[in-house]
Amino acid sequence: CADDGYRLWLKYDPLPDATQRANYARSAGFIAVSGNDPVLRTAASELQAGLQGLLGKPVPVIGSAAGRTGGIVLQVGSDPALNREGYRLASRGNNLVVSANSASGVLYGAFALLRQVQTGASVANLSVTSNPKVKLRMLNHWDNVNGTIERGYAGSSLWKWYELPERIDPRYRDYARANASLGINGTVVNNVNASPRFMTDEYIKKVAALADVFRPYGIRVYLSVYFPASKVVNGPGKPALKSADPLDPAVRQWWAEKVNEIYAQIPDFGGFLVKANSEGEPGPQDYGRTHADGANMLAEALGTHDGVVIWRSFVYKPAENADRFRAAYEEFTPLDGKFHPKVIVQVKNGPIDFQVREPFSPLFGAMPKTPLAMEFQLTQEYLGFATHMVYEAPMFKECLDTDTHVKGPGSTVAKVIDGSLHGYEQTAMAGVANTGSDRNWTGHTMGQANWYAFGRLAWDHTLPSDGIAREWVQMTLTRQPKAVQTITDLMMRSREIYVNYTNPLGLHHIMGYGIHYGPEPWLDKAPRPDWRHTYYHRADSVGVGFNRTATGSNALSLYTPQVQQQWENPQTTPLPYLLWFHHVPWNQTLSTGRSLWDELCVRYYTGADSVRWMQQQWAQMKPALDPEQFDDVAGRLAVQQKEAIWWRDACVLYFGRFARRPIPAPFKAPD
Ligand code: GCU
């Protein structure tokens, strides 16, 4: 039957090669596991379901191997080579042993073993040790009470609030399985633009019901907080307060009680995520207090409970002559060292807002005393929604692998995030989820790969993007080697192609206003200066780009001298970042030998042409793919092709008005 994509990468259809099946089957005669730990039981049942499907034969789960050989043994022990959630896969005699220091570690090991089989890797003489590099690996859902998802493009929310807590949609469990298979261990279920309802008893009960489903998969729930909830939420015998001032004792008491109410129903509650004094959301600054005052108040309210406060740094203020690039840095770096140990500050990868390419946020490396978490966006708000194919792993890696130089060469963003650079106790990586009620979860079939890649990189940021893509293709789409290679290649090029036909050479924030889709570089009227797109590209008769050097906003000075050096000279700035930092004359010759104007045109035109190439490549894959998945992607590529031309023509015509130069041969002027 056709594959509707529901099973994601957890497809356990029988391996096509009987010899291969028989080989694996020799090591999978049974699964031995003792005890009743729910997470350990999950590990056994997932492994059983997976192997039975892949090998086409029953695999019994037994209480103890008791001298039997030719099976899999699941074990919790104490292994000094492993951290709390790491695992080891090892051949011992004729058995395969999956061991860890916790039940969650065994669960991750079980999924790793399944991955070996799904991707056709050998399990003979197995010796794999793997430790997650980051402790909290989480999805952030921007889901609302009414079932909509802010910036969600795959249908409505997975959470059916009106049915909870009584009815448990079976999909909640499938969601948990998918996340656990990647090592994701936390989920924030509601939008950062948070409704105060999530602090009511009615909703805490609903969230507790979700937590009950996720717990056996090692996943903890977190809630986004409406900072002034104390002013709106009443309880029986507990009227709302007049204030949300974090230093007001009554407010602190209100939160301490709220925390206890939550933990009474969700004993492993993960904590709070907070967007405050950002884009109109209220916060501690409304009372003359700082972000640290607000975050610390919530951290103290958590008391001895094992939870954290994740406070977002995504802030910027409307100001005519300021540079939004600098805003988060200026508000947060003075607070370094002032946060409670339970507070983590969550930083978007770039200084503006999930653009197609951004230099890394200058906060990374600049707050040695405050654990900083990474926030990536899986939902493709600025990357063509669920219509355009953009494999994001290369973009995530680009940020993680960048050297901040704060402690000499090799001080990468990844080392800030995994805590190794500054010795952070808490470490976290979050992905703004791209899931929804669409049958295939992410709308675009290929969007599943972004969820997958995020999870794999949150576990181990050193994994290569192409390796992750290959794995995902093999598990999700096809095992035919030529097709695996072609699709991996297509995915690896997809982000740069998107950059070329939308925002080449470091252009940014020129998309449709409000909706964030399609081109609108001409936008010069908006309620705030930093919502106008002319603010970002600054095109005029001389050139285009935002001067962020010392002669401009000097945002460049927020980086270390070594980083500044890479980006301060327009002659030597790598072309992908050029217009992020420089206002470059239209006639300036670039390293490609072409003028800026010509290069811009070349990128827009070749970018749009490349989508045709993507279509051709995909068309050739038809025999290797499931017809439903093939058609889904082919249809979306056709839209992408049309819209790449829309972007190209809109931008070339618009910028051409300033450049007043012809579109270079061999490209003809758009009609
Ligand atoms: C973007 C996005 C908003 C979102 C915000 C945030 O600006 O467009 O919808 O609320 O980011 O991350 O808080």
Residue-level pLDDT at 670: 55
Pocket probe for ligand 1: among 191, 324, 353, 513, the residue whose CB has the most ligand atoms within 8 Å is: 353
d(CA 377, CA 323): 23
d(CA 477, CA 567): 40
| 37 three-state secondary structure | coil
* 633 pocket-lining for ligand 1 (C-beta < 6 Å): no
- Residue 215 and residue 261 in contact, taking contact as beta carbons nearer than 8 Å: no
Residue-level pLDDT at 321: 78
- Position in ligand 1 atom list of the atom nearest CA 192: 13
Pocket probe for ligand 1: among 381, 511, 536, the residue whose CB has the most ligand atoms within 8 Å is: 381
Nearest CA to ligand 1 atom 10: 193
- Position in ligand 1 atom list of the atom nearest CA 151: 9
Pocket probe for ligand 1: among 140, 141, 142, the residue whose CB has the most ligand atoms within 8 Å is: 142
List, by residue range, all CATH 3.20.20.80 domains of the chain: 136-463
Residue-level pLDDT at 628: 97
* 489 pocket-lining for ligand 1 (C-beta < 6 Å): no
* 193 pocket-lining for ligand 1 (C-beta < 6 Å): yes
* 159 pocket-lining for ligand 1 (C-beta < 6 Å): no
* 314 pocket-lining for ligand 1 (C-beta < 6 Å): yes
- Position in ligand 1 atom list of the atom nearest CA 150: 9
Pocket probe for ligand 1: among 310, 314, 434, the residue whose CB has the most ligand atoms within 8 Å is: 314
Residue-level pLDDT at 665: 86
Residue-level pLDDT at 46: 98
d(CA 311, CA 464): 30
Nearest to 9 by CA among 114, 138, 91: 114
Residue-level pLDDT at 432: 99
588: exposed, middle or buried (Cβ count in 10 Å: 0-12, 13-18, 19+): middle
Cα 327 from chain centroid? Answer: 23
Distance 169 CA to ligand 1 centre (A): 28
Distance 451 CA to ligand 1 centre (A): 19
Pairing state of beta strands 72-76 and 87-92?
unpaired
- Position in ligand 1 atom list of the atom nearest CA 142: 10
Distance 10 CA to ligand 1 centre (A): 31
Residue-level pLDDT at 284: 98
* 530 pocket-lining for ligand 1 (C-beta < 6 Å): no
d(CA 296, CA 469): 40
Give the position of tokens 């991996």: 488
- Identify the CATH assignment for 18-130 out of 3.30.110.70, 3.30.379.10, 3.30.70.120, 3.40.50.970: 3.30.379.10
Distance 190 CA to ligand 1 centre (A): 13
What region, left, alpha or beta, does residue 147 occupy, with left being phi > 0 and alpha being psi -120 to 50 degrees? left
DSSP labels, 69-84: -SSEEEEE---TT--T
Residue-level pLDDT at 667: 85
For 544-592, give the secondary structure using H, E and C. Answer: ECCCCCCCCCCHHHHCCHHHHHHHCCCCCCCHHHHHHHCCEECCCECCC
- Position in ligand 1 atom list of the atom nearest CA 191: 10
List, by residue range, all CATH 3.90.1330.10 domains of the chain: 500-659
* 192 pocket-lining for ligand 1 (C-beta < 6 Å): yes
Determine whether domain 500-659 maps to CATH 3.40.640.10: no
- Report in angstroms the alpha-carbon separations of 295 from 302, 314, 317, 462: 11, 14, 20, 31
List, by residue range, all CATH 3.30.379.10 domains of the chain: 18-130
CB atoms within 10 A of CB 271: 27
406: Cβ contacts below 8 Å, ≥ 6 apart? 365, 366, 368, 421, 560
d(CA 210, CA 164): 8
CB atoms within 10 A of CB 577: 16
Distance 191 CA to ligand 1 centre (A): 10
The third-level CATH classification (topology) of the domain covering 136-463 is TIM Barrel (3.20.20)
Residue-level pLDDT at 237: 82
* 34 pocket-lining for ligand 1 (C-beta < 6 Å): no
Distance 277 CA to ligand 1 centre (A): 13
d(CA 548, CA 569): 11
- Residue 258 and residue 244 in contact, taking contact as beta carbons nearer than 8 Å: no
- Position in ligand 1 atom list of the atom nearest CA 432: 12
Distance 536 CA to ligand 1 centre (A): 17
Can you list the pairs that 566-573 forms with residues at least 24 positions away whose Cβ atoms lie under 8 Å? Answer: 567/359
Nearest CA to ligand 1 atom 1: 353
Instruction: Give pLDDT < 50 ranges for the chain.
Output: none
* 275 pocket-lining for ligand 1 (C-beta < 6 Å): yes
* 548 pocket-lining for ligand 1 (C-beta < 6 Å): no
* 7 pocket-lining for ligand 1 (C-beta < 6 Å): no
Distance 602 CA to ligand 1 centre (A): 32
- Position in ligand 1 atom list of the atom nearest CA 193: 10
Nearest CA to ligand 1 atom 7: 353
Nearest CA to ligand 1 atom 12: 314
Distance 197 CA to ligand 1 centre (A): 20
Distance 383 CA to ligand 1 centre (A): 14
d(CA 55, CA 117): 9
Handedness of CA 529, 532, 537, 539 (dihedral sign): negative
Distance 452 CA to ligand 1 centre (A): 22
| Complex ipTM > 0.95 | yes
- Report in angstroms the alpha-carbon separations of 316 from 178, 325, 328, 430: 35, 8, 7, 21
Distance 537 CA to ligand 1 centre (A): 20
Cα 411 from chain centroid? Answer: 22
Taking only the tens place, the pLDDT of each residue in 163-222 is 999 999 999 999 999 999 999 999 999 999 999 999 999 999 999 999 999 999 999 999
- Position in ligand 1 atom list of the atom nearest CA 348: 12
**103-118 vs 170-182: helix crossing angle, rounded to 10:** 80
| 136 three-state secondary structure | strand
Write out the catalytic residue numbers: 279, 353, 381
d(CA 178, CA 450): 13
- In degrees and rounded to multiples of 5, residue 269 shows phi and psi of -55, 135
- Report the chain's C-alpha Rg in angstroms: 26
Residue-level pLDDT at 39: 98
* 151 pocket-lining for ligand 1 (C-beta < 6 Å): yes
Cα 196 from chain centroid? Answer: 25
* 150 pocket-lining for ligand 1 (C-beta < 6 Å): yes
